[in-house]
């Protein structure tokens, strides 16, 4: 199961909890770039905006995973930082399954993309550093997890 929780800290740092049970992943990331996302509600900031941007971000994840063809790879960003971009990597296998991992890239950083309107990221294998287990997962189960991710 994937859970994303906005723990609403005062300074927009280390205030979003990400848990992906099957990857044994527990990460706490910043909401800063979600709160200042200029592409969405530019005059607004704060917890409500962070929640709304998270909803748009997860909706894009859902769209990207549904559109995966055999052999395709998609990156689902979630940790937007000045130095790197933390993301899930999802690769569609021929059998209706996907390979899923969590990692990061320094080829693209958090301030280069809008969390509310993420593009399909093009990364080479060298640009993505795996920081978790790599698991094979039923694609339909992953889609369900993404739909239920935001708490």
* CATH for 2-147, options being 3.30.450, 2.40.30, 2.60.40, 3.30.2450: 3.30.2450
DSSP string, 60-87: HHHHHHHTPPTT-EEEEEEEE-SS-EEE
pLDDT attached to residue 151: 57
Query: How many Å apart are CA 147 and CA 151, to the nearest integer?
Result: 11
- Distance linking the first and last C-alpha atoms of the chain: 12
Model confidence over 69-95: pLDDT tens digits? 999 999 999 999 999 999 999 999 988
Whether the pLDDT of residue 11 is over 60: the answer is no
- The residue whose two tokens read 């998609």 is 74
Assign 6 a pLDDT band (cuts: 50, 70, 90): confident
Query: How many Å apart are CA 141 and CA 113, to the nearest integer?
Result: 28
Query: How many Å apart are CA 126 and CA 57, to the nearest integer?
Result: 25
Assign 43 a pLDDT band (cuts: 50, 70, 90): confident
């Amino acid at each position: 199961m994937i859970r994303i929780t906005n723990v609403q800290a005062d300074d927009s740092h280390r205030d979003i909890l990400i848990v992906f049970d099957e990857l044994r992943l527990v990460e706490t990331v910043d909401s800063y770039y979600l709160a200042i996302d200029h592409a969405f509600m530019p005059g607004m900031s704060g917890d409500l905006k962070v929640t709304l941007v998270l909803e748009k971000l997860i909706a894009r994840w859902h769209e990207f995973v549904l559109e995966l063809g055999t052999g395709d790879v998609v990156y689902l960003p979630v940790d937007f930082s000045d130095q790197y971009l933390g993301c899930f990597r999802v690769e569609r296998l021929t059998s209706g399954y996907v390979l899923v991992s969590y990692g990061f890239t320094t080829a693209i950083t958090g301030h280069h993309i809008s969390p509310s309107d993420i593009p399909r990221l093009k990364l080479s294998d060298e640009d993505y550093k795996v920081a978790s287990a790599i698991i094979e997962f039923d694609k339909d189960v992953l889609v369900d997890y993404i739909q239920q991710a935001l708490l």
